[in-house]
Amino acid sequence: MSKSLGSLVEALGGELLGDPATPIDRLSPLSSAQTGALAFVAQDRYAHQIQTTGASALIVTPALAAAAAARGACIATSDPYLYFARLTQWWRAEHAPVDAPAVHPSASIHPDATVDPLASIGPFAVIGAQATVAKGARIGAHSVVGARAQVGEGSLLYPRVTIGDDCCLGDRCILHSGVVVGADGFGFAPEAGRWVKIEQLGAVRIGNDVEIGANTCIDRGALDDTVIEDGVKLDNLIQIGHNVHIGAHTAMAGCVGVAGSATIGAHCTVGGGAVVLGHLRLADGVHISAASVVTRSIRQPGHYTGMFPIDDNAAWEKNAASLKQLHRLRDRLRAIEQAMAHATPETPESP
């Protein structure tokens, strides 16, 4: 479904240079865009592609507007990437409008549940006793909303999401397929070589505008609740342990594991595959690199990393073997320094 460039600028703003009638059939990456495509130039380092792209129109910064306009239509805006984000939302809404609210006849809804007349419930979904599904919420096929659980206004559960008993979800959240909110936290007391289960009596509280990726798990608290604040974005296959607290607008990439009772600040980012150990505290604005293991609390904002550098296997084997001797190497180095200090007082001092 083609849109005119003008209708798009009318909806989203920005300064239009060129023909408002330019037809836009699709959004494309700059490098592969062809006629009919609208593309964006997020960073100056891609500016050289302005001359070569086949896009019918470009979204650029004011600084690049003259160059872009010289080759065809463009939209000038202070933050092209943000403009592009809003454009994708508008594009989707125009091309895939949300169906009218409906409850599928196969859904299993407890008579004591409260489902707003403007909510949608998909095939085979299960809504438990005293659960609440608010206005505009959409519950996908096979999703389960547990007893006394709450789903806020406009929240979207894709097919096959589980919200455990007593857990609550704010407004405008998006939960992808396979998400499990409110499984038991991992808590056991040892007794003579066996594990005695600690029943997990808390729940999970999730704020507004939270997005949770496919197959990600957020465990219920042991006594108090696990808490995910507003605007948090979690990618796929993430594990959030019991009683974790994640501050607002923190984002985590795929495969991250956060152990129980960790408290993570607001506006943090955690790279893919990183691990945060339990009972730690991360300040606001902490950025953890992919695959790093957070073994201690981090009280200062900043960028932290711990990751073995990749190398060809033969080189790695040699270096890894040496690493097991590293402490001894340090001792040997110190011994040399001391011997040299004794022999020649002007050599560098050892600590």
> Which residues form the catalytic set?
242
Note whether 73 binds its own copies by CB under 8 A: no
Q: Which is nearer to its own copies, 69 or 214 (CB)?
A: 214
Note whether 11 binds its own copies by CB under 8 A: no
Structure tokens at 100: 């009218």
Q: Which of 82, 98, 102, 135 binds its own copies (CB under 8 A)?
A: 82
| Cα 303 to Cα 55, 256, 284, 293, distances in angstroms | 37, 17, 12, 13
Q: Which of 9, 12, 249, 297 binds its own copies (CB under 8 A)?
A: 249
Please, what is the minimum distance in Å from the beta carbon of residue 231 to its own copies?
Answer: 6
Q: Which of 144, 168, 204, 268 binds its own copies (CB under 8 A)?
A: 144
State the DSSP code for 148.
T
> Sheet of 57-60: strands edge to edge?
15-17, 73-76, 57-60, 37-40, 26-27
Note whether 148 binds its own copies by CB under 8 A: no
DSSP strand pairing (15-17 vs 144-145): unpaired
Q: Which of 43, 51, 78, 295 binds its own copies (CB under 8 A)?
A: 295
Cross-strand partners of 326: none
Kindly identify the residues of this chain, within the stretch 33-62, that bind its own copies according to CB under 8 A: none
Kindly identify the residues of this chain, within the stretch 217-236, that bind its own copies according to CB under 8 A: 217, 219, 222-224, 231, 233, 235-236
- The site for its own copies, by CB under 8 A, has a size of 130
CA dist 170 and 134 (Å) reads: 10
Stretch that binds its own copies, among 44-52, 60-68, 113-121, 175-183 (CB under 8 A): 175-183
Q: Which is nearer to its own copies, 69 or 290 (CB)?
A: 290
Note whether 253 binds its own copies by CB under 8 A: yes
State the DSSP code for 111.
T
Kindly identify the residues of this chain, within the stretch 89-108, that bind its own copies according to CB under 8 A: 89, 91-92, 104, 106, 108
Q: Which of 141, 157, 203, 246 binds its own copies (CB under 8 A)?
A: 141
Q: Is 25 exposed, middle or buried (0-12, 13-18, 19+ CB in 10 A)?
A: middle
Residue 4: closest CA among 19, 23, 17, 18: 23
Q: Which is nearer to its own copies, 111 or 348 (CB)?
A: 348
Q: Which of 2, 45, 117, 191 binds its own copies (CB under 8 A)?
A: 191
Q: Determine contact, residues 281/297, Cβ cutoff 8 Å.
A: yes
Stretch that binds its own copies, among 5-13, 46-54, 58-66, 297-305 (CB under 8 A): 297-305
Q: Which is nearer to its own copies, 69 or 90 (CB)?
A: 90
Note whether 196 binds its own copies by CB under 8 A: yes
CA dist 133 and 136 (Å) reads: 9
Structure tokens at 205: 């509280």
Note whether 319 binds its own copies by CB under 8 A: yes
Note whether 323 binds its own copies by CB under 8 A: yes
Residue 84: closest CA among 24, 139, 126, 124: 24
Token pair 């729940």 is found at 203
Cross-strand partners of 275: 257, 293
